[in-house]
Amino acid sequence: RHCTDIICCVIFIVVILGYIALGVVAWVHGDPRKVIYPTDSYGQFCGQRDTLNENKTILFYFNILKCASAVVLVNLQCPTTQLCVSKCPDRFATYIDVQASYRYKPDQWNYFRQFCKPGFNNPRKSVAQVLRDEDCPSMIIPSRPFLKRCFPDFSTKNGVLTVANQTTFKDGRGKTRNVTDLREAANGINNVLDARSVGMKIFEDYAISWYWILIGLFIAMLLSLLFLVLLRFTAGVLFWIFIFGVIGIIGYGIWHCYWEYDHLKGIPGSDLTVYDIGFQTDFKVYLQLRQTWLAFMIILCGVEVIIVLMLIFLRNRIRIAIALLKEGSRAIGYIMSTLFYPIVTFLLIAICISYWAVTAVFLATSGEAVYKVMANQTLCKYANLTCDPETFNTTNVTKLCPGAQCTFAFYGGESLYHKYIFIFQLANAFVFLWLVNFAIALGQCTLAGAFASYYWAYRKPADIPLWPLFSSFGRAIRYHTGSLAFGALILAIVQLIRVILEYLDHKLKGTQNSFTRFLLCCLKCCFWCLEKFLKFINRNAYIMIAIYGKNFCTSAKEAFFLLMRNVVRVAVLDKVTDFLLFLGKILVAGGVGKLVVCFLNSML
- Nearest CA-CA partner of 333 in 199, 240, 450, 228: 228
Which of 24-28, 126-130, 443-447, 458-462 is least confident?
458-462
Residue 472 CB neighbour total at 10 angstroms = 24
Contact between 152 and 186 (Cβ < 8 Å): yes
Residue 80 banded pLDDT, cuts 50, 70, 90: confident
Q: How far apart are CA 301 and CA 163, in angstroms?
A: 62
- Nearest CA-CA partner of 555 in 440, 402, 441: 441
Q: What is the mean pLDDT of residues 213-217?
A: 80
- Percent of the chain at pLDDT > 70 equals 87
pLDDT of 402 above 80? no
User: Domain for residue 504, yes or no?
Assistant: yes
Collapse the DSSP code of 45 into the 3-class scheme (helix H, G, I; strand E, B; otherwise coil) and give the result: strand
Does residue 82 sit in the same domain as residue 95? Answer: yes
> For the segment 162-185, what is each residue's pLDDT rounded down to a tens digit?
887 888 888 777 788 877 776 665
Contact between 416 and 403 (Cβ < 8 Å): no
Does residue 113 sit in the same domain as residue 147? Answer: yes
Does residue 187 sit in the same domain as residue 79? Answer: yes
Residue 266 banded pLDDT, cuts 50, 70, 90: confident
pLDDT of 13 above 90? yes
Q: At which of 144, 160, 192 does a domain end?
A: 192
DSSP 91-157: S-EEHHHHHHTTTT-HHHHHHHGGGS-TT---TTS-HHHHHHHTSS-SEE--EEEETTEEEE-EEEE
CB neighbour list of residue 294: distance below 8 Å, 6 or more residues apart: 257, 261
Give residue 539's domain range. 342-366+416-508+517-565
Q: At which of 389, 412, 435 does a domain end?
A: 412
Residues forming a β-bridge with 177? 169
How far apart, in Å, are the Cα atoms of 73 and each of 59, 64, 95, 116, 228? 10, 9, 24, 20, 51
- Nearest CA-CA partner of 93 in 84, 101, 103, 85: 101
Most confident of 142-156, 409-423, 434-448, 497-511: 434-448
pLDDT of 186 above 70? no
- Nearest CA-CA partner of 422 in 472, 360, 479: 360
Does residue 406 sit in the same domain as residue 440? Answer: no
User: Domain for residue 28, yes or no?
Assistant: no
User: Domain for residue 604, yes or no?
Assistant: no
Q: How far apart are CA 146 and CA 74, in angstroms?
A: 10
Does residue 546 sit in the same domain as residue 424? Answer: yes
Contact between 150 and 88 (Cβ < 8 Å): yes
Q: How far apart are CA 584 and CA 574, in angstroms?
A: 15
- Nearest CA-CA partner of 331 in 231, 198, 223, 252: 231
The pLDDT value given to residue 411? 62
The pLDDT value given to residue 264? 83
Does residue 501 sit in the same domain as residue 422? Answer: yes
Contact between 141 and 89 (Cβ < 8 Å): yes
User: Domain for residue 590, yes or no?
Assistant: no
User: Domain for residue 587, yes or no?
Assistant: no
Does residue 101 sit in the same domain as residue 135? Answer: yes
Q: How far apart are CA 211 and CA 215, in angstroms?
A: 6
User: Domain for residue 246, yes or no?
Assistant: yes
Collapse the DSSP code of 15 into the 3-class scheme (helix H, G, I; strand E, B; otherwise coil) and give the result: helix
Most confident of 53-62, 367-376, 382-391, 591-600: 53-62
Amino acid identity of residue 2, one-letter, is: H
pLDDT of 75 above 50? no
> For the segment 282-294, what is each residue's pLDDT rounded down to a tens digit?
667 778 888 888 8
Does residue 132 sit in the same domain as residue 177? Answer: yes
For the chain, how many structural domains are there in total? 4
pLDDT of 567 above 80? yes
The pLDDT value given to residue 438? 96
Contact between 538 and 545 (Cβ < 8 Å): no
The pLDDT value given to residue 198? 64
Specify the higher pLDDT residue, 422 or 193: 422
Collapse the DSSP code of 162 into the 3-class scheme (helix H, G, I; strand E, B; otherwise coil) and give the result: strand
Specify the higher pLDDT residue, 57 or 597: 57
Does residue 421 sit in the same domain as residue 555? Answer: yes
The rounded mean pLDDT for the chain is 81
Does residue 95 sit in the same domain as residue 235? Answer: no
Q: How far apart are CA 362 and CA 286, in angstroms?
A: 62
User: Domain for residue 438, yes or no?
Assistant: yes
Biggest CA-to-CA distance, the chain: 102
Which of 46-55, 232-241, 431-440 is least confident?
232-241
User: Domain for residue 186, yes or no?
Assistant: yes
Radius of gyration (C-alpha) of the chain in whole angstroms: 34
Contact between 66 and 139 (Cβ < 8 Å): no
> For the segment 413-444, what is each residue's pLDDT rounded down to a tens digit?
666 777 788 888 899 999 999 999 999 999 99
Does residue 396 sit in the same domain as residue 420? Answer: no
Does residue 399 sit in the same domain as residue 497? Answer: no
- Percent of the chain at pLDDT > 90 equals 20
